[in-house]
Amino acid sequence: MLFTSSGFLVFLAALLAVYAITPKKYRWFILLVGSLTFYAFAGPQFLLYIGATIVITYICTMQVAKLRKKRDEAIEQTTEKQQKKAIKERAKKVSKRWTAVCLVLILGILAAVKYTDFVLANANAVIGVFGGVRRFGLLGLALPMGISFYTFQTVGYVIDVFREKAEIQKNPLKLALFVSFFPQVVQGPISRFGELSKTLYSGTRINRHDFARGANRILWGFFKKLVIADRLWPALVVLTSYPEEFQGIYYLLAIGMYAVILFCDFTGGIDITIGVAELFGVKLPENFNRPFYSKSIQEYWQRWHMTMYMWFRDYVFYTVAASKKMLRFSKATKKIVGEAFSKRLPVHITLVWVWFLTGLWHGATWNFIAWGLANGFVIMASLELAPLYNRFSKKFPTLHSSLPYRGFQIFRTFWLMNMIRSFDIYDGVRNTFGMMRSVFTNFSLSQFLTVGITELTLPTADYISAGVGLMIVFWVSWLGRGEKDYRERLFEFKWPLRYLATGIILFMTLVMGAYGFGFDARQFIYNVF
């Protein structure tokens, strides 16, 4: 069920009506029923996958809860410090086993569904290289909606439970709601149990202010998705489907257009997600913070898909980089690479590993793996060159802090990110590198000035609509700078201006949005990750 479909709006209105008339203490259950109903629309068979994740997580975390109870009782019955320490270590060891079992099983479901065919296809390729005849048959398993998102959210909960940073949810139905909460199950954001549980089960009464904020955020998401992302998508399909015809300057047009489409598609979906949650009084974390103003790739990832970045940082990067094995490895390489670099080596190795996993998480193709590793290597190079940057800023402090130089950094980061992101849209790693090379070998400005964009299937009116919409998006982005988001600034306007601004966005969405009879509604890009 598409967020931007009329069916979803009917579903949302019905759920809100039932939620509003339900007693406060049972409202969380209405959200659970609604979430499972929503998920069933994607395919009833997919409920088995998310159901298995919920059951496994509940059983394993309840075993951890029992161990903690026994541990605390045993500690109360003794006064010896050594014995208390032994009890804690014993309980932690068993808890670690249950946590490991849980993680292997729920990540195993994700791996089996998402990566089995990728592994088999590559095994067949290796067999072919060595002259083998027999081949593995591909399973062709359908990918359940949002499985990467709800799996990572559940993994975070399990690890937080083990680290005793989150309370154990002993009600299996409430745990099921945390895993399956319908607005965020499509494409995130990836929430933490400790934060989400504060409002998810509260049964907050729908009030006028929250409803207005939520509806405004939903409308803004519809605007970005329908007026810009879906309107430009057909042109991008033409550009990337015929790479032999559209090279050089058209490659730059494609990756620039994809940056706009992906931003409006993904942030538009997140806007709808956060807005829908607010209608029910549930607070979800923000996932973007004006990423196109970033001055480096590292800063970009601190602003783009922030919950994913923080997930990998907290649960993978810190865990691996600070592990005892990595510290021993650092000491062992001191004589070979020098003391200074040996201290940085664990960070670099972990960076490559994290970005390899990030690419694999996005998709089971070599393109996404190459995309992830490219991000990792660029960040690693930036860390190594940091001393040079610091010396430059000290030597030329006025230049370094000037507006033109900051503009250059933003421009450089934007296009470097676009080139890395081109692995998303072209078929095959070799083909993607070929398109990058075409900027230098087949750059024809005269062809672009002659043919322009007339062969990309879109009428001029569509480009104008998307262009006007994009100007509004950047204006709202500027309006939302600082600690206040754009809605808080909007609500500070006097009511005629506030309603006029909202009315313009609604009017443009209805008139310029890509929807209606004969239009092939397109799912959100991150729905397939």
| Three-class DSSP labels, 211-239 | HHHHHHHHHHHHHHHHHHHHHHHHHHHHH
Please state, in angstroms and rounded to a whole number, the distance separating the CA atoms of residues 325 and 271.
42
Question: Looking at residue 189, what is its pLDDT?
Answer: 95
Question: Looking at residue 522, what is its pLDDT?
Answer: 63
Question: Looking at residue 28, what is its pLDDT?
Answer: 95
Cβ(124)–Cβ(83) below 8 Å: no
Torsion of CA 146, 148, 153, 159, to 10 degrees: 160
Angle ∠(246,251,253) on CA atoms, nearest 5: 105
Q: Which of 144, 126, 146 is nearest to 136 (CA)?
A: 126
Cis upstream peptide for 346 (omega within 30°): no
What does each of the 529 residues of the chain score in pLDDT, given as a tens digit? 788 888 899 999 999 999 999 999 999 999 999 999 999 998 899 999 999 999 999 999 999 999 988 888 888 888 788 888 888 888 889 999 999 999 999 999 999 999 998 888 888 888 887 777 777 788 888 888 889 999 999 999 999 999 999 999 999 999 999 999 999 998 889 999 999 999 999 988 888 888 888 999 999 999 999 999 988 998 899 899 888 888 889 999 999 999 999 999 999 999 999 999 999 999 999 999 899 999 999 999 999 999 999 999 999 999 998 888 888 888 888 888 887 888 888 888 999 999 999 999 998 899 999 999 999 999 999 988 888 888 888 888 888 778 898 999 999 999 999 999 999 999 999 999 999 999 999 888 877 777 677 677 778 888 888 889 999 988 888 776 766 677 777 777 777 887 888 888 888 888 877 765 555 556 677 665 5
The residue whose two tokens read 């262009």 is 467
CA separation, residue 232 to residues 131, 242, 249, 282 (Å) = 45, 17, 18, 33
In this structure, what DSSP letter does residue 284 have? Answer: -
Q: Which of 480, 484, 470, 452 is nearest to 512 (CA)?
A: 470
Handedness of CA 169, 171, 174, 179 (dihedral sign): positive
> pLDDT per residue over 170-229, tens digit each?
999 999 999 999 999 988 899 999 999 999 999 888 888 888 889 999 999 999 999 999
**Range list of H helices, 130-192:** 147-162, 172-180
Residues in the chain: 529
Task: Give the CB-side neighbour count of residue 421, counting CA atoms within 13 A.
Answer: 20
Torsion of CA 237, 239, 244, 249, to 10 degrees: -160
Please state, in angstroms and rounded to a whole number, the distance separating the CA atoms of residues 254 and 432.
12
- What number of helices (H) and strands (E) belong to the chain? 25, 0
Tokens in use for 477? 């982005």
Tokens in use for 450? 């002659």
Q: Spell out a b/e string for 296-324, using b for 16 or more CB atoms within 10 Å of the CB, else e.
A: bbbbbbebbbbbbbbbbebbebeebbeee
Q: DSSP states of 3-45 as a string?
A: TTSHHHHHHHHHHHHHHHHS-GGGHHHHHHHHHHHHHHHT-GG
Query: In sequence order, which residues have a C-beta less than 8 Å from that of residue 216 and are 6 or more positions away?
Result: 275, 487, 490, 502
CA separation, residue 84 to residues 88, 92, 96, 98, 170 (Å) = 6, 12, 18, 21, 26
Query: In sequence order, which residues have a C-beta less than 8 Å from that of residue 388 and are 6 or more positions away?
Result: none
Please state, in angstroms and rounded to a whole number, the distance separating the CA atoms of residues 520 and 24.
40
Rounded to whole angstroms, the maximal C-alpha distance in the chain is: 87
Query: In sequence order, which residues have a C-beta less than 8 Å from that of residue 191 and are 6 or more positions away?
Result: 153, 184, 284, 285, 307
Please state, in angstroms and rounded to a whole number, the distance separating the CA atoms of residues 232 and 171.
46
Q: DSSP states of 437-482 as a string?
A: HHHHHS--HHHHHHHTTTTSS--HHHHHHHHHHHHHHHHHHHHT-S
